[in-house]
Amino acid sequence: MRGIWLCFSLFFLYGQPNKPFHPTPDRDYDVLHTRIDIKIDLTDKTVSGEVTHVLSPLSVALRTIVFDAADMDVKSVSSGSQFLRYDQLDDKLWIELDRAYGFTDTLNVTINYSASPRRGLYFIRPDSAYPNKHFQAWTQGEDMDNHYWVPLYDYPNDKTTFECVITVPKPFVAISNGELFHEKDNGDTRTFHWRENFPMSTYLISFAVGEYQMVADHYRALPIRYWVYPEHTSEDAFRSFGRTPDILTFFNRITGFEYPYEKYDQVIIEDFMYSGMENITLTHQSDRTMHTARAQPDHSSVGLVAHELAHQWYGDLLTTRNWANAWLNEGFATFLTYLWFEHDKGTDEAEYVRLQQMRGVTRADRSRRRPMVQFYYDDSMELFDANIYAKGSVLLNMLRQILGEEPFWKAIRYYTKTNAFRNVETQDLKKAIEETTGQNLYWFFDQWVYNGGLPEFNVESKYNRRTKTVTLTVTQTQDSVADKWFRTPVTILVDQGEVTRKTVWLDGRETVITIPSERVPRMVIFDEGKIIPARLTFMKTDRELIYQLRHAPHIVDRIWAIREMSKGSGRRKIIEALLNTIAADEFWGVKVEAADALGRLKPKTIAKKLMAVSEGQDNRVKRACVRALSNYDGGKVKDFLVNILRTSDKDYLLADALRSLSKVDSTAMEEQLTWALSQDSHGDRIRKTAVSYLGDARSKEHYNRLLDLAKYGHATYDSRPAVFSALGNYMGDYPEVLNIFTDYLSDPDWEVRRNCIRQLGRYGKEEHLPLLDQRLVEDPLNEKYIADAMRKIKSRGEKKSSETRSMKAKLRELERKIDKIRGIIDD
């Protein structure tokens, strides 16, 4: 049995053994300093120059050095005045040293090279169709893409100081990490010399080149700068990034470690594939985070700013030693963002953020159950989802509840200080907790971090009038390996006229909990606030749910009651309770959940009440009511939605009203279509909604309009990807649309290419496989989606072949029966 358990433990510990195993790689040398001196050509999309690495061997006789170097032309390699022999093979640069070097030696290795990167360094430029795009060049190193533009050691388990000397044509500026050591005017070009004095992992090396204006801010003597486009005002910059000094002040306090670096810059970049990236002292932010008052309160940059700033501690100061432990980067940054909302907006706002995290955890578990520490994977970027972001945050909050506020922060501050400027793994966090609090939390890390899965609780509550006690029977119903059940504390709330709470430990398949209660409880809540990421079954009557919705102190428990209500048939008292919640609850998030529940229940004859209760609400609540109104037709609903389109100045509300109108009255929607397709909004939401309608309301006229919008330059740049998604709805009527998806696989917009790849995954044939296989080389940014599309096409082909073989076998069997019958007749 012990051997079987060991096998199971190894399976869960390392993830999925059918995928390649990725341990921390061995190192032959320690990079001490790196100097990158390059010239950027924005027209030819090239980088050229040299890089010098100062390194020390980690062996007694180092004769060969290997750097990561892909898609580049190496001109020469030297050490001092000595030129060295080298070879390029399999994205590696192999350098033969002039002799053996040992532990006490220090080498300077200089590589002269040029590159036209396919990834890692991206070039943006305007053209005749989109003249308002910006000339830019920017890097994205995570996970291991910086070696496409500079030869280096490209894995996080080494840290080095470095400097970037970047020459760019005027009028562009080059922004990089650390301090601006020197700037030189060369006539037609300028050279910017940046120097980072603190050691970091090489995936955090970054730069952005473009035409920017700098908006200055500060925290004490620390320079804080926001690099935005010339067309932006300082008000625009502060609207998105102005809370940075406040957030930095808060993080300094809670981590116990003062921000140590030379400055903190945030630069916006165009066509970024992510929302943000936490390069040391220079965070790259998508320019889509910029917004006007029309997007508020539905959109805010504050969460993004907090998350990326938190990474300056957890991700940069302390960096995961390997990608398997990436949750130490992402989970901590997500947790600190939650804490910022708790500090700045209050408990309700923060708990609503945590609820979204909990939902992400359960979705990730349902999609692909796996541990948080994962050594088995195809590509390390597949690890970066809610399984490490949201789950990491949720588990850190659980640790805070288990240890208590003061012991928890004592442990976190010790962990931070002890491991500053170093690489970490999960055992470093566990060790820090044990050394500061005395608590050996092996059981916690074993069940939540090193193993996959979530508990599933079935709770039954009974009241005994004779003993005046409430008895809860809690059964864990999830699949369990070797009777390994989740061990966790849980808080039970009992409302018997006055609220009492009891915290107990669950440990085993079944736990029976007895709580004194003088009378039949009005409300019993299991796991108050839903601290544990779990699936909960706790049957309650409508009366109990309505009481909980009205009186539960914690917003998550009120929202849980709403979710349970929306699973039923929508009896009148439930509908009234949800409407009353929209009108009376103190928190906008609970109101939104109630309106969304009404949208799922689709009760009759409440359109008038929905319209009435939406008036005067927070814009996010009004949007939820507008979404629910999509279930109702009639002139009054149409007029209400059209009035919003005519009078509102809120982009997100306008987009939702347009979407609901398309379902309520297609004629009225057609009248708004030209306006919607010409309306600018944050993220092009209004225009994208109109494009989506052209795909949903299929007609020859709409098809032709989409064909026209698909042409390069005929739609706005941000709305073009939505056009190709909408065209997929016409595959049944116009099979030739498949050719459009293949024609645009080389489109300049990576999002257009991605949507075309997805459509081929849905509708493509085996004849498309060679084309997609070629795109794997030419479009590395979308390689995950290309591989997925190819897998789906092959799967359909195999299924079709199997069905054909089955049909042929049935025909042969039928022919044999017919021959047999003929033989009987002949006889």
Amino acid letter, 44: D
CA distance 540 to 544: 6
Mean pLDDT computed over 636-665? 98
DSSP state of 159: -
Name the token pair of 512: 């029976």
219 has a pLDDT exceeding 50: yes
pLDDT tens figures, 544-565: 999 999 999 999 999 999 999 9
% of the chain with per-residue pLDDT over 70: 98
The predicted pLDDT at position 482 comes to 63
Average pLDDT over residues 395-409: 98
Has residue 670 got a pLDDT over 90?
yes
813, pLDDT greater than 90: no
Three-class HEC string of 73-85: EEEEEEECCEECE
Least confident stretch, 97-106, 323-332, 487-496, 810-819: 810-819
Q: What is the mean pLDDT of the chain?
A: 95
pLDDT (average), residues 316-339: 98
Average pLDDT (641-667) is 98
Greater pLDDT, 15 or 112: 112
651-670 average pLDDT score = 98
**d(Cα 71, Cα 74) in Å, to the nearest integer?**
10
Residue written as tokens 């690099």? Answer: 227
Predicted confidence at residue 7, as pLDDT, reads 40
Could you say which DSSP state residue 179 is in? E
Contact 486, 506 (CB under 8 A): yes
pLDDT of residue 802: 72
**Which DSSP helix (H) or strand (E) runs through 343?**
helix 327-345
Residue 745, CB half-sphere, CA atoms under 13 Å: how many? 29
pLDDT of residue 827: 64
The string of pLDDT tens digits covering residues 513-523 is 999 999 999 99
> How does residue 17 score in pLDDT terms, banded at 50, 70 and 90?
confident
Average pLDDT over residues 48-75: 98
The tens digit of pLDDT for each residue in 676-709 reads 999 999 999 999 999 999 999 999 999 999 999 9
Mean pLDDT of 213-225: 98
Please write down the HEC assignment for all residues of 563-599: HHHCCCCCCHHHHHHHHHHHHHCCCHHHHHHHHHHHH
Q: Under DSSP, is residue 12 helix (H, G, I), strand (E, B) or coil?
A: helix
pLDDT band at 5 (very low <50, low <70, confident <90, very high): very low
Average pLDDT over residues 738-756: 97
Q: What was the pLDDT predicted at 14?
A: 42
Residue 207, pLDDT > 80, answer yes
Of the candidates 760, 694, 762, 680, the one whose C-alpha atom is nearest the C-alpha of residue 722 is 694
CA atoms within 13 A on the CB side of 174: 31
Q: Is the pLDDT of residue 656 over 60?
A: yes
DSSP 24: P
Ranking 369-378, 481-490, 586-595, 777-786 by mean pLDDT, the lowest is 481-490
What pLDDT is attached to residue 11?
A: 43
Separation CA 153–CA 144 (nearest Å): 9
Q: Which amino acid is at 32?
A: L
Using the predicted structure, report yes or no on whether residue 814 has a pLDDT greater than 80: no
Name the token pair of 388.
């490490």
What is the torsional sign of CA 133, 135, 136, 137?
A: positive
Q: For 569-620, what is each residue's pLDDT tens digit?
A: 889 999 999 999 999 999 999 999 999 999 999 999 999 999 999 999 999 9
